[in-house]
Chains A and B, each alone.
Chain A
Amino acid sequence: MGILNNTLPSNIATDAVDGVIGWGRKSSIWPMTFGIACCAIEMMAVYAATFDLDRFGAGVPRATPRQSDLIIVPGTVNAKMAVRVRRLYDQMAEPRYVIAMGACVCGGGPYVKWGYNTVKGVHKIIPVDIFVPGCPPRPEALMDGILKLRDKVGQDEVFRRRSDTAKDLERRYGMIK
């Protein structure tokens, strides 16, 4: 299958096949067990029974980056932690997705002015797919972010040639989808 990836023209057959594959992929997102600061508490609430992320197929966090497709970065990324976030991201297999959760990882949040060692937004370190602002975001907000990510994953090109948007994103972030 590898050699067919992104080589076929977009027509009714490849669109249908990609649609089915996309539906399968978006319904089985495996997030990584990863939390840095206060936002992680809200994230745990989303996994737990009240909000039950498993309804959307993303409810079982994997304990290793090698098994996960999604890294939710919930919490303040500082200079020491940035190296670890980057390393975990690098260990994940393609295709991989990033959700920046909370004001801190969207752009510094409460530490934007006097945070001497805070990275003002995790997008300075790794490419981000979905930003979920809030301090901390409500669990509903994170769930909305995950639903948006599902839409995005469902539209990915697998057999079809990559669209201009996808190519543009790739060029922008220097990554292979």
Chain B
Amino acid sequence: MNESEIISRMREAGLGGVGELDTSAADPFVVIEADSLRAAMLFLRDDEACAMEMMHCVTATERKASIEVVYHLCSYEHHHSLTVKVICERPEGGTHDNWRPAVPTVADIYAAANWHEREQYDLLGVIFTDHPDFRRILLPQEWIGHPLRKDYIYPSEHGGIPLELDAIPLYMEGGEEAVAAKKAERPAGEPLNQPPSKYSARPDAGGKAPESSEGKVNNSRDSAH
């Protein structure tokens, strides 16, 4: 079967929320509403003529007005495949900080989706409701934010590990006392004091520029005498 035949078969079976086949993209896809996603996936897996036993990939894309979750399905038996999208509209004023789109999980239908959904949560902040083991998969558990969102603010450190290019090495000039003194100067909760490099085009890392040149550290190895 080709994609449009699969879709008309889904319609015949009485599944709601199934959109038209969109062939404008290189990879034709069908948009399914989030509410009917689980029923559609169950049908695609269990129906004799569809028999989509395999889910390659769950991925997500952030667009201006939405976040799209994309499922790639295929059938070994019939050698056909289908790309399914769920589009979560961005609410008014929805940003990285206040908007987490929610999609029902398919991890109990396709076991492969388990880790993939966790990855989409980790990197794009998509919530998969009723996921059996919903936590971050790549980044440390205590990481703040979802880095692949367009309006993500880059961290300058994580748990004391400097992440800025200009960061002071943990073994800085002056030995451990100087490091301890530097730490004490910094009020609790402040990020490590690294301003982004002047060559850096990264978004603002939330670091603070040093007030005087005194706090500056020479990282150049040539200054050993």
Residues of A within 8 A of B (CB): 79-80, 82-83, 107-108, 112-114, 116-121, 123-127, 164-165, 168-169, 171-175
Contact = CB atoms under 8 A, between A and B. Distances in A.
Contacts of A172: 171, 173, 175, 224
Interface residues of B, number: 28
Contacts of A80: 139-140
Contact of A175 (B168, B169, B171, B200): B171
B164 interface: yes
Nearest to B141: A80
A112 B167 CA distance: 12
Given A172-B224, A175-B171, A117 B147 contact: yes
A168 B224 contact: yes
Nearest to B123: A116
Nearest to B200: A113
Contact of A79 (B154, B159, B164): B159
A112 B205 CA distance: 13
A62 B202 CA distance: 40
B162 interface: yes
Main secondary structure of the interface of B (DSSP, over half): loop
17 contacts: A80-B139, A114-B202, A116-B147, A116-B154, A116-B155, A117-B163, A120-B163, A121-B169, A124-B161, A124-B167, A124-B170, A125-B161, A125-B169, A127-B169, A165-B224, A171-B173, A175-B171
Given A79-B159, A113-B202, 16 more contacts: A79-B158, A83-B159, A83-B161, A107-B165, A112-B200, A113-B201, A120-B163, A120-B167, A123-B169, A124-B162, A124-B169, A125-B161, A127-B171, A168-B224, A174-B175, A174-B176
Contacts of A114: 202
Interface string B200-225: 11100000000000000000000011
Contacts of B147: 116-117
A120 B165 contact: yes
A166 to B, nearest CB: 10
A117 B225 contact: no
B110 interface: no
B139 A174 contact: no
